[in-house]
Amino acid sequence: MAVAGDHVLVSASAGFHGRRAAVYRRLLDGGTRFERCAEGLPKWFADNVDTACLAAAGPLVVLGTADGCVFRSLDAGRHWTLAMKGLPRSPPS
C-alpha cells in the first residue's frame, strides 16, 4: 500500500504466490471503488507486488517487480512508464 497525493494504491493477486497480480488505486476521500492501474503496466504481474516494492511521494509512484522491472507514475498511478528493466530478480519469498 502507498499513498500518492489524494489516492491510495494497493496491490492484490489471485493467490498467495501471486498469480494475476495487479495494482489498484482509489481516492482517499470520497472514493467508493478501486480501479486497476493499467495504462503502461502489464495486464498482470506474474508475482505479487510486495509492500516494500511500492512507494509514493506526492503524485510520484514507483513500483518494482520480482522480475527486475521498475515502473514510474507521475500522476498518482493513472499512467505508468517503464523506468528500468534487467535488474536482478528478487529471491522467492
pLDDT in tens, 7-58: 999 999 887 766 789 999 999 998 789 999 999 999 999 888 887 899 999 9
pLDDT in tens, 29-42: 987 899 999 999 99
pTM of structure: 0.88
Q: Residue 79: which residues within 8 A CB-CB, separation 6 or more?
A: 39, 40, 73
